Structure 1
């Protein structure tokens, strides 16, 4: 990578003495060589990035993304998935085990770790909780962690057996492993199409009630408390879940949670158009739920925001809403959605850069002289069109496809590599 000079960037790093001030940053051989108000250089090979009216922070970390590799490479492979992540400002991702075979042994973990080596984006596999994600038998959690698994989840399958979840929490605690819960009671909401409420009644579609999520959040909080184990809830979407987690934190439980960016913007009202790209799990909820989620982000109940990037081929999305698969491609549209949701720049950095690494107990990259450069430069004002030219994913299942969006990632730097979004 050439020597990079970032000029006139507003630094966003709450613990930094230059927080929210304009700085120049010189990056050489993948390391931050100098930070100052104004840097002059006579290096003729210097690559200058004008970041005036833009922000500089530690690279974003996505706690919930899906690549198809292994088995579903037609949806997304590691190469295209990391390209989309980088374009969205992410310098690290945790990939969930919704693959075929699932990431349920050291073999699959090793495949992902080795395939992703040398990438600009750091890729951390999330191993399964149960073998084959069937929810019947505990997977080899410790073996997977030793090979590189960062945490454990059954992906978009919820662990229905309380006993199995309890054993997973207890076992993982012994080696500082983290269990991620996808909270949904299948006996209440399984196989249904959208949020249960006025809109689902109007459309005549079977709904997934808030209860399907909150009852599992409640169960897993009891299990975590009983086993004195940490737990993380992936993609909560309801007012009730926020309240349950807030009370658990007040009691001193080791609980964290995240929310998908699209659940902060879209409501079930949008489903009236039957756009299958708005079919996600958990489903789009109500304005009341969004208000509670935003409040939870502000008061610290919700620790992080994720993309829940879930690519699908056209034959699984360009069909009737009832039979379409759940999920949208989202790595590149997280920032625009958070801008639309009204989050401050400081909140965006806290929930995309800092919070995810705290949850995973990963060392926070630093913006200081001598540190390895792990950076994102972004604007909350600049507009761009998300279409076939700018989309880096293999898939195109997004309700934002073809639209002009406000909030653009200008560049990311990591692992002595740089990506500049033209």
Structure 2
């Protein structure tokens, strides 16, 4: 059987055109007007784009299956238009060796979207000894990070960069200086003072961004910065790129939609790491996405079981759901052309993770049939109980947003049709 996606506006790296798209046996076989197929997916009034790529998702397996599994997280992904996700390594045990990589990839082969995994930079994510990156790279791992905490020791980070450059992989850094961030639970500023909650200063992020830009320049190794949240960080990345340093950056949806004022409710659903920042920082993230200083939108999808997120603010773990709301938040909050939003969600993150041959590719004959069809004008209200994730910790409950995924095709197979999951 083949499938035809009819009546949509195709947007990819090559531009925009009104066309039908036929997929069969995992490939796009035709793009043009008035095409037919065995199964018809209506795309009237919709955009047909490459499937979205999330390079920063916490799928929690192994070790925290009560919050999420690779299966449930993948269903959340296809509901959000994602054909590929890159799992973060802060699991239990951490993804820091070939055996755990193989376990995650094996589980991923049963998922409705393509699941890739990152690997830890250091053994146990402890920042003391380099992990065996070569054996993980041999299994296809292309992104390495100790996400959840940054590599604190500069000499160790230098050796990691030199090692990564030789392997042809990319290091992704969670930028946070522990000695400045210790004991903090939200952004350090006006609202933390008013609320009596210990804060994390912007400098905790910015000092590590500054250090790793210098190390990237010194070693010649690329560096990717995860979930940047401050004006200073984005300004340094912008300047580094202009100076020829091989640096990329991502922004999480919550950092361009929310501010630290949301913590005034003392609701731990607004606790995240790095923390929500003031409006000036939020606006800087938006500016970075608009002018290219920030390359990709990442979800930092971080599910937590209700019993942990219902603890007091200073005891609750940081993290928010993101996979099912990323597109809508980008369309609702960012004043960007559709093509730029699609790029931030597709081919740009795919290139960072080394997935551009399979995901984010132009929609053309013989190309991979990993596609997303979304209505950019449909409005809907976020309902935690209607989400596919095993957890419910979204900060957007009750929020009206614009833009909704209608169909998701992975490897030529429609896995989401008219917003309904198809096992």
Tell me which interval the TM-score lies in, with the shorter structure as reference length.
Answer: over 0.9
1:397 alignment counterpart = 393
SS of 2:372 mapped into structure 1: strand
Contact 2:385 2:392 in 1 (8 A): no
CA contact (8 A) 2:23 2:412 kept: no
Q: TM-score, normalised by structure 1?
A: 0.95
Q: Following TM superposition, by how much is the alpha carbon of 1:312 offset from its aligned partner in structure 2, in angstroms?
A: 0.6
Alignment length, in residue pairs? 414
Structure 1 partner of 2:369: 373
Q: Give the alignment's TM-score, normalised by structure 2.
A: 0.94
Of 398-407 and 288-297, the range deviating more from structure 2: 398-407
**Partner SS, residue 174 of structure 1:** helix
The reply to whether residue 250 of structure 1 matches residue 242 of structure 2 is yes
Shift of 1:263: 0.5
Q: 1:222 aligns with which of 194, 198, 214?
A: 214
Aligned with residue 22 of structure 2, among 23, 26, 29: 26
Q: Does 1:38 align with 2:37?
A: no
User: Quick one: which of 82, 98, 109 aligns to 1:90?
Assistant: 82
Partner residue of 1:266? 258
1:234-258 per-residue CA deviation (whole Å, 9 max, x = no partner) reads 0000000011111111111111110
Deviations 1:161-210 (A, max 9, x none): 11111110011111112111100011111230111111111111111111
Counterparts of 2:76 and 2:356, CA distance in 1: 24
Residue of structure 1 equivalent to 2:233: 241
> Hey, what's the Cα distance between the residues in 1 that align with 2:172 and 2:380?
34
1:339 shift after superposition: 1.6
What residue is the counterpart of 1:142 in the other structure?
Answer: 134
Per-residue CA deviations over 1:26-48 (Å, capped at 9, x if unaligned) read 22233222211222x3x6xx322
Measured after TM superposition, the shift of residue 84 of structure 1 is 0.6
Residues in 1 aligned to 2:31 and 2:87: alpha-carbon distance in whole angstroms: 33
Report how far residue 118 of structure 1 moved.
4.9
C-alpha separation in 2, matches of 1:371 and 1:194:
45
The reply to whether residue 350 of structure 1 matches residue 343 of structure 2 is yes
- TM-superposed CA distance for 1:358, in Å, is 1.7
Task: State whether residues 347 and 356 of structure 2, in contact with CA within 8 Å, keep that contact through their aligned partners in structure 1.
Answer: no
The 1-side partners of 2:233 and 2:399 are apart by 32
* Secondary structure, aligned partner of 1:147: coil
Q: Measure, in 1, the Cα distance between the counterparts of 2:337 and 2:110.
A: 33
CA distance in 1: counterparts of 2:362 and 2:370, whole angstroms: 8
Aligned partner of 1:202 in structure 2 is: 194
* SS at structure 2 position matched to 1:339: helix
Q: Secondary structure at the match of 1:80?
A: helix
Matched, 1:359 2:352: yes
Superposition RMSD in Å: 1.5
Post-superposition offset of 1:131: 0.5
> How many angstroms does 1:403 deviate by?
4.1
Which of 123, 144, 149 is equivalent to 2:115?
A: 123
Between the aligned partners of 1:28 and 1:330, the Cα distance in structure 2 is 31
Q: Distance in 2 between matches of 1:339 and 1:183?
A: 27
1:61 aligned to which of 35, 53, 61: 53
Aligned to 2:7: 8
Q: 114-123 or 66-75, which moves further after superposition?
A: 114-123
Aligned equivalents of 2:31, 2:404: Cα separation in 1:
24
Query: C-alpha separation between the residues in 2 aligned to 1:290 and 1:344?
Result: 19
1:127-150 deviation per Cα after TM superposition (whole angstroms, max 9, x unaligned)? 001111111111101111112322
Whole-angstrom distance in 2 between the partners of 1:389 and 1:20: 36
CA distance in 2, matches of 1:385, 1:239: 30
1:323 is displaced (CA, Å) by 1.3
Check conservation: 1:32, 1:371, Cα contact below 8 A. yes
Answer whether contact 2:70 2:111 (CA < 8 A) is retained.
no
Mapping 1:46-195, distance limit 5 Å: 46-195=38-187
Give the drift of 1:388.
5.2
